[in-house]
Amino acid sequence: MPAIANLVTPELAGMLESSEQPQQATFLGELAKTANKKMLDVARKMAEGKADPTDIWNSTGWFKGADGKWRFEVQDRPSGFKIDPTQEESTRLGFAYRHPKLFEAYPELADIPLTLRTFANPKTGGAYIPPIYGGPSIELNRQWTPAASRSSLLHELQHGIQNIEDFAKGGNTTVTQESAKLQPLALSPWAVGEVSGLKGPASPEQYQSYMLMRAQAHPTFAARENYLRQGGEVESRNVEKRRGWTKEQLKVTPPWMSQSVPNPYQILNLNLPGQPVRPPGVPPWPTPIDYLDTSLLRTRY
């Protein structure tokens, strides 16, 4: 393989450097080679004793995701591209991207094929192809800036971890459209903004318009909302949101408090992508009056 120095021009090196944020946070699980199993045992005992999840997280570093599986968050400052992500390329992830703690935890991720190409839809930043569809592999849209591609790659890497750990999976609107059935859901203006593709919370007029369209339950409309509610997508967007946070910010904000959709309202895919499963014990979907509840949801913006 060519030397890294030959792949990155001085101008690009500055762009790549500027795209690196103070911290990189990713959610890992029990199968990570760096998992602290002793602290996990403590977390389990605390959970059995009905300890508060925040206390468990603060004491052990472990927390349960919406699918009921244990996770911990790894922070990694020295992470970023080692090649030019705006150029056509087919390589291996470990050659193209620097993320020491992640690759130490899951060495197999470093060997995943990475393809940089031009996407037909310029708004799509990347895709994770799971083993059942010929993967694992990751594709990135080379039309995006290095900083945007880095965020997209972190999103797709979390899908890779979900595959290894058998966490709740993600999906896409094509897969979810066939089975999309809108359920009553507590939506905040921030959540409506995210579903609608806005860069912030929906205005009162936008909120009302969204709810009127939602009531019509158009299949494509339902598919997009259900896609955004997929547990694996919620988690991957959360990784993007927490990217660049300081250690202090990460410490005071538990992962479940920065999610765009709270745990009870996520659609959990524990097998094939696009097969929604509501786990045992999840309460009934809220009534339409709960649309006005804006206290539960957060957003990645």
pLDDT tens by residue, 119-175: 998 888 999 998 888 899 999 999 999 989 998 999 999 999 999 999 988 876 554
Give the separation between CA 109 and CA 157, rounded to whole angstroms: 8
Q: Which of 152-156, 187-191, 219-223 has the lowest mean pLDDT?
A: 219-223
Give the separation between CA 143 and CA 248, rounded to whole angstroms: 34
pTM of structure: 0.73
Assess whether pLDDT exceeds 60 at residue 13. Answer: no
Q: Which of 34-43, 105-114, 219-228 has the lowest mean pLDDT?
A: 219-228
pLDDT band at 214 (very low <50, low <70, confident <90, very high): low
Q: What's the CA dihedral at 194, 258, 16, 170 to 10 degrees?
A: -60
Give the separation between CA 182 and CA 297, rounded to whole angstroms: 18
Residue 186 confidence (pLDDT)? 56
Report whether 23 contacts 75 (CB < 8 A): yes
What are the phi and psi torsion angles at 220 (to 5°)?
-65, -40
Q: Structure tokens of 180?
A: 């999309």
Which residue is listed with tokens 């694996």? 232
Q: How many C-beta atoms surround the C-beta of residue 148 within 10 A?
A: 16
Residue 6 confidence (pLDDT)? 34
Residue 205 confidence (pLDDT)? 81
pLDDT mean over 251-255? 91
What are the phi and psi torsion angles at 185 (to 5°)?
-145, 135
The Cα-based distances of 161 to 22, 119, 152, 174, 203 in angstroms read: 22, 24, 15, 22, 36
Percent of the chain with pLDDT over 90: 42
pLDDT band at 83 (very low <50, low <70, confident <90, very high): very high
pLDDT mean over 232-237? 90
